[in-house]
């Protein structure tokens, strides 16, 4: 039986990172979690790291401000997965990965690097609006550095995190579904793709030793989860046995309201605009440069939108 790769996860205490650690351990990989000295007295993160250790993970100290510590950490493993935040309302750290790319290049032993992507494929967003395009532009800068360095890679495009989109019935600023009212964005008929965050982690770890995903983009597009906002609302109405009051927001109203927000909020709202008003996630074909996760791994029982939303009852 082929040996499973050793995995280093950076950003392992984050929203997706903790799920990647769990999935890596669950799939039998020797798993290392980078933690930074800057963690200070963040007791919740420390407790999470200790729980990883109890589950069998190795904790490795390293800092993006200490190149040698990164090189030393990278040399312990075969695969590096970065899950540092790229969300402006939290902390936008995408370009920090350039230091990790340099460390991987110097170490020279990594068989695969998965940078922090996990959302919309930035290669498909060359016409994105300001200020939201900064996220996609920064991710493309990191991609170029990876490819210029000759580092083997897999990019993961996981589309819409279910917790953020389904929890709010696709409404920005909401993460618990209302039982009374919903604002429909535009026609509400543009399709998007919603993925359980644990499923994102499962598919990601499945891909790291798979030659079919080497130097390609892995798109996570579960077919039953490709739905419009109106279809998501209908599923919720069926679950609660009640029809919601509905109002609509035009694209012009959405953009005008967006411009009144601070920079970080505008970045996130721009992404919502492209997804919900333009349907950017479903208007392209996967070419030779990509693979679709649910087709590659049909034995994985992914969480459907209806199954996911039952938690809110």
Q: Which residue has the tokens 């989109």?
A: 165
Tokens of 75: 């040399």
Q: Are 132 and 258 within 8 A, CB to CB?
A: no
**124 belongs to the catalytic site:** no
Tokens of 191: 């399709």
Phi, psi torsion values for 234, nearest 5 degrees:
-60, -40
Q: Which residue has the tokens 């050793």?
A: 6
- The count of residues in the chain is 313
Tokens of 54: 């109890």
Residues 104, 98: Cα–Cα separation, whole Å: 10
Which candidate in 18, 22, 105, 139 is catalytic? 139
Cross-strand pairs, 221: none
- How far CA 148 is from CA of 56, 143, 230, in Å, comes to 35, 8, 43
Q: How many CA atoms lie within 13 A of 142 on its CB side?
A: 28
Q: Are 168 and 212 within 8 A, CB to CB?
A: no
Q: Are 292 and 219 within 8 A, CB to CB?
A: yes
Residues 274, 128: Cα–Cα separation, whole Å: 8
Q: Using alpha carbons, select from 10, 292, 3, 17 the residue that is nearest to residue 156.
A: 292
Tell me the longest C-alpha to C-alpha distance in the chain: 59
Tokens of 83: 């899950």
Residues 31, 175: Cα–Cα separation, whole Å: 31
Give catalytic residues, as residue numbers: 139
């Amino acid at each position: 039986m082929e040996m499973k790769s050793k995995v280093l996860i950076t950003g392992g205490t984050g929203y997706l990172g903790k799920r990647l650690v769990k999935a890596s351990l669950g799939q039998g990989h020797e798993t290392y979690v980078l933690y930074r000295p800057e963690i200070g007295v963040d007791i919740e993160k420390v407790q999470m790291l200790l729980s990883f250790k109890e589950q069998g993970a190795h904790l490795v100290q390293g800092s993006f401000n200490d190149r040698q510590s990164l090189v030393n950490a990278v040399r312990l493993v075969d695969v590096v997965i970065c899950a540092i935040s790229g969300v402006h309302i939290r902390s936008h750290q995408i370009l920090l990965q350039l230091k990790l790319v340099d460390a991987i290049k110097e170490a020279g032993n990594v068989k695969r690097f998965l940078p922090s992507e996990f959302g919309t494929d930035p290669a498909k967003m060359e016409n994105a609006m300001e200020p939201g395009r900064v996220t996609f532009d920064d991710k493309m800068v990191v991609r170029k550095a990876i490819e210029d360095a000759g580092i083997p890679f897999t990019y993961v495009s996981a589309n819409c995190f279910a917790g953020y989109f389904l929890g709010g019935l696709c409404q920005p600023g909401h993460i618990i579904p209302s039982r009374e009212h919903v604002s429909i964005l535009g026609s509400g008929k543009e399709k998007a793709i919603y993925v359980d965050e644990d499923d994102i982690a499962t598919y990601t770890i499945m891909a790291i030793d798979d030659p079919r995903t080497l130097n390609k983009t892995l798109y996570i597009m579960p077919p039953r989860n490709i739905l419009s906002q109106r279809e998501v609302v209908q599923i919720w109405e069926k679950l609660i046995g009640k029809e919601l009051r509905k109002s609509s927001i035009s694209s012009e109203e959405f953009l005008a309201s967006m411009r009144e927000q601070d920079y970080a909020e505008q970045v996130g709202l721009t992404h919502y605009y492209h997804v919900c008003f333009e349907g950017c996630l479903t208007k392209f074909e996967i070419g030779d440069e990509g693979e679709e996760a649910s087709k590659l791994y049909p034995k994985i029982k992914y969480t459907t939108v209806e199954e996911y939303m039952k938690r809110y009852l």
